[in-house]
Amino acid sequence: MAAPLTAVATTNAAPAGLPRAQRLAGAVGQQAGVLVASLLAASLLIFLALHYLPGDAAAILAGPDATAAQVALLEQRLGLDRPVAVQYLDWVFGAVRGDLGTSMLDGRSVAGQIGEKLQVTVPLCVAALVISVLIAVPLGMIAGARHRTWYGQAIGALTQFGVALPVFAVGLALVSVVAVQWRVLPVQGFPTDRWADPVDALRSLILPTITLAIPLTAGLVRFVRSATIDIVGEEWVRTARAQGWSNAAVLIRQGLRNAALPLVAIVGLELAGLLMGSVLIEQVFSLPGIGQMLLKDVGNRDLVSVQGTLLTLTSVIMIVTIALNIIYTLIDPRLRGSK
C-alpha cells in the first residue's frame, strides 16, 4: 500500500535550488491554478449533466395540469429560456459571489440553506476524522511494530472487519443497542434550534460520529500498520537500535515523522469516502445535514438546489485536497531546507 501512496501529490514543479520561500510560492501558485481549472471543469460537468436531464424542469415543476403558457411563464421566471452559456456563466459568477440562486420549490436562498446544513455535516466529519487519526496512529504503530505478537495480529484482523462493515449497518446496530435498548442517547434527529443548546446538539452527534469514525479508523490503522512494518525493516531503524535506542523511541521520534507524509496523503484520499459516509449516516440518524438536503432535493427535482449542493461539496473537497497537497509540500523533507 505504501509505495504508490507516497507518489501522491508530489507537486514540486518549481526547480530545486531556489530559496525555499520562492519554491513554496511556486508550488502554491501551481496548485491554485490546478484548483481553479478543476473547479471550472467540475462546475461545467455538474451544470451540463443536470441541464440536459431528460424531462423539462419547468414542466415537472408546473405539474401535469399546467398549460403550455404556464410552463413558458415558469421557464421565463426561472431563467430557463436563456441560452445555455448565459445560464452557466450567470450561475458560476453568482457562485463566486456566494450566490447559488434560489430553490425552485420554496424560493429560499440555496447558499443560505447549504450554510445551515453544513453546521451539522462539518462538525460530524471533522470530529470523526480527528478521532480516527488520534486512535489510528498509536494503534497502527503498535500493531506494526509488534506485528508478530498476538495483539499485533489481532489488531490487524479486527481492521479487516472494520473496513468491511457497511457504515450504515454500524449506525443501525448502535442505534438499536445504545439508543433503543439502553436509552442513553437520542435515537435520531438533531435539535430544531440547532446549536442553541450545544449539549443537546453534541449529544445527538455522538453516535453518528462514532459510526463514521469506525470504518475510517480501521482503514487508517491498516495504513499506519503497514507503513510501520515497512519502517521497522529500514536500515536506519536498525542503526538506531544498534546505538541503544529502544524500538518505541525510534518509532516515535523518527518513525512518526516518516509516517506523517503518507498519512497526509491518505487522509486526502479518504475525504470523498468521508463525505459518502456522512451522507449515509445522516440518512441513518435523520440528521438535517447536507446529505439529507441533497437526497430531498433530488427527490423533488429541485435542480437549482441540487447543482448548488453538488458544486459546494465538490469545491470543499477539492480545496481541502489542494490544501493537503500544499501541506505535503511543506512537510516533505526532500522538498525542504537545502538552499
Partner 1 sequence: MIALLRNPSGLVGAVLVAVVATAALLSLVWTPYDPLAVDPTAGWLAPSAAHLLGTDALGRDSFSALLVGAQVTLGSALLATTVAAILGLPLAAFIELTPSVVSSFLQRFIDIMIAFPTLILAVILVTSLGSSTWTAAIAVGLGASVVVARTVAPELRRARASDYSLLALAAGASSGRIMLHHVIPNAGSTIIVRLTQVLAGAALAEAGLSYLGFGTPAPTPSWGRTLAEMQPQIMTRPEVLLAPALCIMIVVLGFNLLGDGLRDTLDPRTRRSNR
Give the interface with partner 1 as residue ranges (CB under 8 A). Answer: 3-4, 7-9, 11, 34, 38, 41-42, 45-46, 49-50, 52-54, 147-148, 156, 160-161, 163-169, 172-173, 175-176, 180, 226, 229, 233, 268-269, 271-272, 275-276, 279-280, 283-284, 294-295, 298, 301, 306, 310, 313-314, 317-318, 321, 325
- For residue 286 the three cell numbers come to 435523520
Closest CB to partner 1 among residues 101, 152: 152
> Any idea which residue has 511543506 for its cell?
330
CB of 255 to partner 1, least distance (A): 17
Q: How far is the CB of 62 from partner 1 (least distance, A)?
A: 19
We find the least distance from the C-beta atom of residue 130 to partner 1, in angstroms, to be 20
Task: Give least dist CB 286 to partner 1, A.
Answer: 10
Q: Kindly state the smallest distance separating residue 297's Cβ from partner 1, in Å.
A: 10
Nearer to partner 1, 209 or 228 (CB): 228
Nearer to partner 1, 45 or 86 (CB): 45
Alpha carbon distance 11, 23 (integer Å): 11
Reading the block at residue 257, the C-alpha cell is 515523522
CB of 156 to partner 1, least distance (A): 7
In the complex with partner 1, the residue whose CB is nearer, 167 or 205, is: 167
DSSP bridge pairs for 102: 109
Give the residue with the Cβ less far from partner 1, 190 or 328: 328
Write down the least CB distance from residue 217 to partner 1, Å. Answer: 16
Nearer to partner 1, 241 or 301 (CB): 301
> Would you tell me how many other CB atoms lie within 10 Å of the CB of residue 85?
8
Q: From residue 299, how far is each of 231, 305, 306 by CA, in Å?
A: 50, 11, 10
Long-range Cβ pairs for the range 228-233 (8 Å, 24+): 228/140, 228/141, 228/143, 228/144, 228/145, 228/147, 228/255, 228/259, 229/144, 229/147, 230/2, 231/144, 231/255, 231/258, 231/259, 232/144, 232/145
As a residue count, the chain comes to: 339
Closer to partner 1 by CB, 160 or 239: give it: 160
Q: How far is the CB of 155 from partner 1 (least distance, A)?
A: 12
Give CA–CA dist 137/217, Å, rounded: 9
Contacts of 1-6 with CB under 8 Å at 24 or more apart are 1/222, 1/223, 1/226, 1/227, 2/223, 2/226, 2/227, 2/230, 2/262, 5/223, 5/262, 5/265, 5/266, 5/269, 6/261, 6/262, 6/265
Nearer to partner 1, 72 or 298 (CB): 298
